[in-house]
Amino acid sequence: MGWVGVGVMFDRLRTKLAIVPWFRIIHDKSVKPKHAAIGLLACQNKLPSVDNLQQRGMSLANRCVLCESPEETTSHLFFNCSYSFGIWISVCNRISWQSPPSSLAHMLQWCKHYNKVKARGKLVRRVALVTTLYALWRERNSRIFQGKSTSSSNLSQQIGHSIATRMYHCERSF
């Protein structure tokens, strides 16, 4: 058979998986690594939300700490919660989105659609999406573990500032 290089052997042995639609949104140098980590877990529905913890055998009261709804799922927390919806509306208004994502499936469709947009618009939307997911998760954890809450208007301002700062740094690096 003859000698085969390490790279060729690696390609033969590794499992090749299909690229998921959110891959290019989450794994991008414009997205902060800590934001990408939460985005990755959210897209895979692996964040330790109450429903996921209950499926692992933990006995917890299932209540959304953001809106006091009687259930906390990843989908509810990020897309169906009244607090989160207000945040998404504010973010959408800031960056001229038509409407916020309403579910994880809708967000994944959005990702496919906006991969065809011009570079700057794609970059802003990518950063906005992952930054918002991160901020909502951080707010949820702050309420649970520290007993601190931020109003939706203040959180929206923080997200807007984070997006603007990230865009400034991204543009300077190109």
pLDDT tens digits, one per residue of 33-67: 899 899 888 888 889 988 888 888 888 888 899 99
Torsion on CA atoms 29, 33, 36, 37, rounded to nearest 10:
150
pLDDT of residue 115: 59
**Are 131 and 163 in contact, with CB atoms under 8 Å apart?**
yes
Supply φ then ψ for residue 150, to 5 degrees.
Answer: -120, 140
With 0.75 as the threshold, say if the pTM is over it. Answer: yes
Tell me the pLDDT tens digit for each residue of 95-145. 877 778 888 778 767 666 665 556 667 778 888 889 999 999 999 999 999
* Tokens 């939307």, located at residue: 125
Q: Assess whether pLDDT exceeds 60 at residue 154.
A: yes
Quickly count: other Cβ atoms within 10 Å of residue 143's Cβ: 16
